[in-house]
Amino acid sequence: MSSPDRFSHALRFLHHLGAVWIAVILLYVVSGLISPGMFQVSQALNILQIAAFLGIVAIGQTLALLVGGIDLSVAGVVTMSNIVVTSLMVGRSETMVPALLISLLLAAAVGFINGSLITLARVTPLVATLGTNSILFGAALVYTGGAPHGSISPGFAVFGQGHLLGLPVSTICWLTIGVAMAWVTRQTTFGRRLYAVGANPAAARLMGIPVSAILISTYVLSSVMACLGGLLLTSYIGSPSLGIGDQFLLTSVAAVVVGGTALSGGLGSVLGTIGGAIFITELNSFTNIVRVSTGTQFVLQGAVIALSVLIYHLVGSKRISS
């Protein structure tokens, strides 16, 4: 067998097995060899607990990328949910449910605005969602006066800090949402329409698919997922923070792309994104082990995105030629 044939077979093998899961295993082994403490069950569970926050936000980002868009307002939505829910709960049990409902409704409204700007005003997704993100951050500053206050309800802490049957509750919530959204995207009419719109919006419109409604619904779901991720993270830390959402602006895109979702739309999966979120969390943990600077972490994340796009482009081109 010639070298090009071996390369082609290797690419096909990676595609079927899922390159992101191979990367997750390899990075975990390398991290464990450098720091044996990584092989402890408690450390593995800690990675899964932390990955849950990014993982839920990344599920929403996956939906946005599947329709050929992008949602850069997720950072602002995470911050908004953190500020709103802590300021409304103020440490009291009776305020927990109303605070959660208000946060989710506000997130849905943000997603509706994003979708409307993109479909009705014809603003490009990047510009529309980046503008919304800036507005949300400014609104958070105005609302708090630069000094956020409040705290979570006592019973709310279990979602971010608790354990059930030895597993972090946050991880259980994340995987439950992930499996549910994977089923929605793969087994329902709405999911099939997502892929159709992302692959070719014009053709989808000719097929009778309500493209505008699908896009708006997608951005509503993306914002709700960002809110849920923000709520879980707020449950974990227990207090408000104006910069809490900034970390998700790049990492949510990185997790989705590493998981195999195409930036051009119409190709990808929620299950791949789950692997991508674990990989990005492992990567951050690994950089902490080897004590690299924050700047170097951003460089590595950018390099991972670029490399992932290149790999999946090669896989895609090999599939087409085969």
pLDDT of 122 = 92
The residues spanned by each domain of the chain are 41-321
Structural contact between residues 60 and 77, judged by C-beta atoms closer than 8 angstroms: no
Tokens for 9, please give them. 């077979």
pTM: 0.88
Phi, psi of 168 (to 5 degrees): -60, 135
> Per-block average pLDDT, block size 10, for the chain (322 residues)?
60 60 82 81 88 95 94 94 92 90 96 95 93 93 87 89 89 94 92 92 91 95 96 92 88 88 84 90 80 73 70 53 42
Structural contact between residues 240 and 82, judged by C-beta atoms closer than 8 angstroms: yes
pLDDT of 320 = 38
Return the CATH number of the domain spanning residue range 41-321. 1.10.3470
pLDDT of 311 = 65
Helices (H), ranges, the chain? 3-17, 19-34, 41-66, 74-89, 96-119, 125-144, 157-161, 169-187, 189-199, 201-206, 211-237, 248-258, 270-289, 294-321
pLDDT of 321 = 42
Signed CA dihedral, 76, 278, 104, 117: sign only:
positive
Tokens for 301, please give them. 């994340």
